[in-house]
Amino acid sequence: MIDKATIDRVLARLPELEAALSDPATAAHQKKYREIVREHSLLKKIEAKAELYLDLHKQLGEHSALIASEDTDSEIRELAREEIEDLETRLASAEKELKVALVPPDPTSQRNAIVEIRAGTGGDEAALFAGDLFRMYNRYAEHRGWKINLVDASTSDVGGYKEVVFGVEGEGVYGILQFESGGHRVQRIPVTESSGRIHTSAATVAVFPEADANDELEIPAGEVRVDIFRSSGPGGQSVNTTDSAVRLTHVPTGVVVQCQDEKSQHRNKEKAMKVLRARLLALRQQEEAQRKGEARRSLIGSGDRSERVRTYNFPQNRLTDHRINLTLYSLDRVMEGNLAELLSALAEYDAELRMQEASG
């Protein structure tokens, strides 16, 4: 059983947050106001789950008491026994949800994300698959009401992408997409295959949280080399008559990012800098995790591009996520952006790991 004192401790800040939200002065500081709104929303969700859990626990106790009492009519006792089974099932589910909610969330989970997709082994077919993944995430973003901002794309002669980089804006984007990082393998008959043989190709995905002011991530201008060049489209053709594309190289780490999606050199540099900050933040987080000896992320996805996380088998309409041993026979729907079941399973598994970590 979850101790009520533990629940009360977590919810103790609710009155303070509600007082701050009702204070007109709070709205004058938009960043602080958004943080308070976010924390208040999180605690209200925990409060609702706690109320359900405690109510079910109380009902279970009352029904158990009825059964144990010698004064209870046999018919009432039988009804109580029937209801207890349902109450126990609902209580177990409510307890699990509450335990997950009580675990402190990843502080970056509510942020926007930067996503990179690169074609891996498989030549033209790998580029086509990278394009399919980009379309899949676009469709999912549409379902969620998120906004996609293309940063950079290198197209293949046959279609698809050698590499595509884009930002995703919306509520809780990084927390939902973070476990997409890793190697994605596809098994299907390529459109270029005349003999009908199934080929295996791959693409890699990397997802980074956007950096913000709280990260105190200072990048001195002297550490960044800026190269300006002319944007190009499919096949190397020029799509811009001015030198507006921007490539940034972070000299100390060797991280290189570029943006050529905008006609404005200033906007391209701005978007490229956002990607560079996200990449450097991810490097810092990785180094900190290694220094602390944290192993949790490696259990569900270290973000290493070489780690195979998922297989897409088109002939069998089958998708398998190897980290959680989940197999779905609805690949056609997944490729149309129906990722909810898959991403929910990954989030639930991650929450269980965090719960175990928090409890030692």
What CA–CA distance (Å, rounded) separates 233 from 239?
6
What CA–CA distance (Å, rounded) separates 336 from 342?
13
User: Is 312 in contact with 331 (CB distance < 8 Å)?
Assistant: yes
DSSP characters over 53-64: HHHHHHHHHHHH
The pLDDT value given to residue 206? 93
The pLDDT value given to residue 184? 96
Of the chain, the end-to-end C-alpha distance in Å amounts to 17
User: Is 3 in contact with 9 (CB distance < 8 Å)?
Assistant: no
Q: Which residues pair with 114 in a beta bridge?
A: 167, 208
Q: What is the domain partition of the chain in residue ranges?
A: 4-102, 113-359
CB atoms within 10 A of CB 315: 10
| Overall fold of domain 113-359 | Alpha-Beta Plaits (3.30.70)
What CA–CA distance (Å, rounded) separates 134 from 115?
9
Q: Please name the helix (run of DSSP H) or strand (run of DSSP E) that holds residue 248, with its range, or none.
A: strand 245-250
Verdict on whether the full-model pTM lies above 0.75:
yes
The pLDDT value given to residue 292? 63
Q: Please name the helix (run of DSSP H) or strand (run of DSSP E) that holds residue 320, with its range, or none.
A: strand 318-321
Angle, helices 74-102 vs 4-11, to 10°: value is: 40
The pLDDT value given to residue 112? 95
User: Three-class SS string for 169-229?
Assistant: ECCCHHHHHHHHCEEEEEEECCCCCCCCCCEEEEEEEEEEECCCHHHCCCCCHHHEEEEEE
What CA–CA distance (Å, rounded) separates 153 from 268?
13
What CA–CA distance (Å, rounded) separates 33 from 51?
27
User: Is 334 in contact with 319 (CB distance < 8 Å)?
Assistant: yes
Q: Please name the helix (run of DSSP H) or strand (run of DSSP E) that holds residue 116, with its range, or none.
A: strand 113-119
Provide Rg for the chain, Cα atoms. Answer: 25
The pLDDT value given to residue 234? 44
3-state secondary structure of 133: helix
Q: Which of 151, 347, 169, 157 is nearest to 261 (CA)?
A: 151
The pLDDT value given to residue 27? 85
3-state secondary structure of 119: strand
What CA–CA distance (Å, rounded) separates 54 from 65?
17
The pLDDT value given to residue 280? 93
pLDDT (tens, 9 = 90+) of the chain, 360 residues, equals 788 888 998 899 999 999 999 988 888 888 788 889 888 998 999 999 999 999 999 999 999 998 888 888 888 888 888 899 899 999 998 988 888 788 777 778 889 999 999 999 988 999 999 999 999 999 999 999 999 999 999 998 888 999 999 999 998 899 999 999 999 999 999 876 767 789 999 999 999 999 987 788 889 999 999 999 887 654 344 455 567 899 999 999 999 999 988 888 999 999 999 999 999 998 888 887 777 665 545 445 544 556 789 999 999 999 999 999 999 999 999 999 999 999 989 988 888 787 777 665
